Structure 1
Amino acid sequence: MEKIIKEAIYIQSPTYIGSYKEEDCIFLLKDISHLVTEKDDKEREEDINDGVHYSQMLPFEDTPSDEYMNIFYESLKENAMKVAVNTLRICEQILKNKGNDVILVSLARGGTPVGVLAKRYIKYKYNIDCPHYSLSIIRDKGLDENALIYIINKHKSTNIQFIDAWTGKGVVNHTLEKACREFNMKYEVDIDSGLAVLSDVGRCAKIYGTREDFLIPSACLNSTGSGLISRTFLDDKIISKHDFHGAKYYSNWKDIDCSNYFVDYISELFEKIDTKSGDKYTDINIKTAREDLIDIQKRFGVDSIRKIKAGIGETTRVLLRKIPYKILVSDINNPNVKYVLLLAKDRGIPIEIYKDMNYLCCALVTFAE
């Protein structure tokens, strides 16, 4: 049944932003490149302590170091087929649940490369050209309502599938569920908040490829792995009630952008995937994410769950961008943690073996946004 939101505020069409081809992804974001000045960790920590929300500022981003790039390329070579196989798995479930007229909506920015891969796989395998948008979701603030309204009114449909790369602590999933519940009540629609991810370590996604904690290579990079887009931004001094949430577009980094290289590399593997790869696989987890986090918080005296960066993706990001005070590893012999061990050793960060968790590793930090 066709659906539009007649009572909604007027939403303009999106302006092209980002480095993906328009047929791969349309970012529903306002370009704030010349409107916001980035801040370093110290400035942001001071602002947050003064009550400023993390979404009202952007972290400083630098060009990726050789260390970043080496880990990206090596992990891509090692885990590319795993990414491709799990893309197959989530796409088959998405089509089974949603049908051929599904609208793919990835969560900017980490989920965007996976959304591009999902669109490409469905086109490759079934010749179905699903629309794919990427929009903002912000902890404590919710989804970008204007972006959702734009999608619904353009396609006259609420048949949306949300996509992210992985689950960690389940914060995004909780935020998504709450936002969709409130949006559905407000506009009398029926958007499904179920999330599709490649790796559901947090045990909270409706659709997932695996629950194994493995390094998705795009997690090693910031904007240069996600369409040259910054973290999303929301401040009513810059974002009006008619705007999409904001993001900076690093257009000056086109020469070092790996966003399309990553999705092209994985897409070329689709024809090589064993057809049995979509068969049932083992659910290796025992505890829920919340149980894991509470246990870690008690065991190591962490005063806030936000100071636990859970999973190999988040741990790798933290090691590349900040200095955690301790790394927890559940299996030191697992080849997936070799980069974590190397980075921690180089930075003099202590590693502790902690087997009683689903996560392959976690980082404990002193400052959390």
Structure 2
Amino acid sequence: MSTITNQPAKMGSYSEDDVLFLLKDLSNIELEDSTINRELRVQSGQHYSESLPIEYQPPKEYVNLFWHTITEYKRKVALCVGIVAEQVYQAKGNKAILVSLARAGTPVGILIKRYIKLRYGVALPHYSVSIIRDRGIDENALHYILSKHPEGKVQFVDGWTGKGAISIELTKACNHYEKNYQIKLDDTLAVIADPGHCTTLFGTREDFLIPSACLNSTVSGLVSRTVLNEQYIGKNDFHGAKYYRELLSSDVSNDYIDLIAGEYSAIMQEAENIASQKKQKNIRNEFLGMQDVKQIQAEFGIENTNYIKPGVGETTRVLLRRVPWKILMRDPSSPSVKHILMLAEEKGVEVAAYPEMNYLCMGLIKSVKGTSK
């Protein structure tokens, strides 16, 4: 293992008591491109991690809906966080090191850290690191964490699961790390919601709206998606990201954390009871969501499953930063999809009823290969 020279980046609007970002600050580099240009390049073979989408800034009506959604779901999110946090602490105790997968995992990692601090009086270390589909996890970040906590037990954290691509990537990355460095890491991913049945450590398997999925950086500490572009990231660097300081006036990251954490005292006993009950159950990760994905791929003639994004969180991402073709809805009357209907109308995207699926909705990405910019 090489000598550690990297240090956590002084970036983002979260307190360093909540999270340390093991990322290289690329804030001064122009990495964004229009959605259509970026989609063309990605579908023509460029890896999505080499550039960034332009951050969508929603209209006032959408932001109002975000706050309404938080009010409606804050207790449910808090309970699901509590259930996960109880399981993590029961399994790993004060040796646990929370390692969030940037960026959707970051607010969830903070919420788990806050819960365990309130419930058990233990301040667990919490880092945010990059993992990228088809390119693996940031091993330099893992080296840093393990050098700081040689006796610690890593617990990876994300927001939710879709069809399981990141869960699979994480397992592959942990196997690779063990082979190269003879260090075995627990590849179990802790999430709030696991509608795809991709992990055994979750708050719920219901496909519901986690409010932090509604927005981009303004609910994730003003940090961009992570970047792995050899032009800017050397072999000894952490993966990169940008800090969008210019969006500070729109930032709700800490308000969101405080609102959810404010519910903890009311749900702790229930969370502990549910977590204890889960110990008695034979919970498996069967990746059931891929059955829906394969069926829709065949029915709609979609060439690549990467163009199919299942679940509320992933469908939201399609509308915020990809070129959407169509949105499939199991139940358009669900309060969890109000923001999706609003975004689809704003962007002129067709919404089609599709009652026969496990997820509440799916976002289908438009094939743009062969079109001009």
Is 36-45 or 138-147 further displaced after alignment? 36-45
Q: How do 1:279-318 residues align onto structure 2 when only pairs under 5 Å count? A: 279=274, 280=277, 288-318=288-318
Give structure 1 stretches of 5+ with no counterpart: 1-6
Alignment-mate amino acid for residue 150 of structure 1: Y
Partner amino acid, structure 2, of 1:116: I
In structure 2, what is the equivalent of residue 359 of structure 1? 359
- Distance between the aligned counterparts of 1:328 and 1:32, measured in 2? 36
Task: After TM superposition, list the pairs within 5 Å mapping 1:68-87 onto structure 2.
Answer: 68-87=62-81
Give RMSD over aligned pairs: 2.2
Give 1:179's aligned residue: 173
Structure 1 range deviating more: 347-356 or 32-41: 347-356
Unaligned runs of 5+ in 2: none
Question: How many angstroms apart in 1 are the aligned matches of 2:144 and 2:329?
Answer: 43
SS of the equivalent of 2:38 reads: helix
CA offsets 1:105-130 (integer angstroms, 9 cap, x no match): 00000110000000000000000110
Task: Pick which of 292-301 and 87-96 moved more.
Answer: 292-301
Instruction: Provide closer, same or farther for how the CA distance between residues 20 and 240 of structure 1 changes in structure 2, counting only shifts above 3 A.
Output: same
Alignment counterpart, residue 197 of structure 2, candidates 203, 215, 231 = 203
Instruction: Give the match for residue 330 of structure 1.
Output: 330
Please say if 1:51 is aligned against 2:45.
yes
In structure 2, distance between residues paired with 1:58 and 1:342: 24
- Is 1:228 matched up with 2:222? yes
180-189 vs 300-309, greater mean Cα deviation = 300-309
Kept in 1, the 8 Å contact 2:56–2:320? The answer is: no
Distance change >3 Å, CA 62–CA 172, structure 1 → 2: same
Letter in structure 2 aligned against 1:60: I
The residue type equivalent to 2:237 in the other structure is D
Gap change, CA 1:202 and 1:368, over 3 Å in 2: farther
- Greater shift, 71-80 or 56-65, is seen at 56-65
1:325 match: secondary structure: strand
Range with greater deviation from structure 2 (340-349 or 189-198): 340-349
Q: Which whole-Å CA distance do the structure 2 matches of 1:250 and 1:362 have between them? A: 29
Q: Which residue of 2 aligns with 1:11?
A: 5
Match of 2:341 in 1: 341
Q: Give the letter for the 1:289 counterpart.
A: G
Kindly tell me: are residues 186 and 224 of structure 1, through their superposed partners in 2, closer, same or farther at Cα, counting changes over 3 Å? same
The answer to whether the 8 A contact 2:324-2:365 is kept is yes
Cα deviation, residue 308, structure 1: 1.1
Q: Which residue of 2 aligns with 1:42?
A: 36
Distance verdict in 2 for CA 1:67–1:11, change over 3 Å = farther
Is contact 1:287–1:358 with CA below 8 Å preserved after alignment?
A: no
Determine helix, strand or coil for the equivalent of 1:100. Answer: helix
Q: Would you say the 8 A contact 1:308–1:362 is kept in 2?
A: yes
Give, in angstroms, the shift of residue 42 of structure 1: 2.4
Partner of 1:297, secondary structure, is: helix
Quote the Cα distance in structure 2 between the aligned partners of 1:63 and 1:319: 12
CA-to-aligned-CA distance 1:303-355 (integer Å, 9 cap, x gap) = 21111121011222333445523221112333322333344345443332222
CA distance in 2, matches of 1:23, 1:224: 19
Match of 1:122 in 2: 116
CA–CA distance in structure 2, aligned partners of residues 172 and 287 of structure 1: 12
172-181 vs 348-357, greater mean Cα deviation? 348-357
Instruction: Give the letter aligned to residue 205 of structure 2.
Output: R
SS in 2 for 1:94: helix
TM-score (norm. length: structure 2): 0.91
Instruction: Please point out which of 19, 25, 39 is paired with 1:25.
Output: 19
Once structures 1 and 2 are overlaid, which stretch shifts more, 359-368 or 16-25?
A: 359-368
The offset of 1:148, in angstroms, is 0.3
Distance in 2 (CA, whole Å) between partners of 1:298 and 1:33 is 41
- The answer on whether the counterparts of 2:43 and 2:368 sit within 8 Å (CA) in structure 1 is no
Cα 1:128/1:108, change in 2 over 3 Å: same
Q: Give the conservation status (yes or no) of the 8 Å contact 1:286–1:358.
A: no
Q: 2:131 aligns with which of 133, 137, 151?
A: 137
Report the equivalent of 2:144: 150
Greater alpha carbon shift after TM alignment, 91-100 vs 34-43: 34-43
Measure, in 2, the Cα distance between the counterparts of 1:222 and 1:132.
21
| % identical equivalent positions | 47
Would the alpha carbon gap of residues 291 and 116 (structure 1) be closer, same or farther in structure 2, given more than 3 Å must change?
same
User: Structure 1 pair 319/237, CA: closer, same or farther in 2 (3 Å)?
Assistant: closer
1:161 is aligned to 2:124: no
1:308 alignment partner AA: I
**Retained in 1: the 8 A contact 2:198–2:286?**
no
- 8 Å CA contact retained: 1:199, 1:213: yes
Q: Deviations over 1:50-79 (max 9, x none)?
A: 432111111112433324312211111111
Of the structure 1 ranges 52-61 and 321-330, higher mean CA displacement relative to structure 2 is found in 321-330
The code of the aligned residue for 1:87 comes to: V
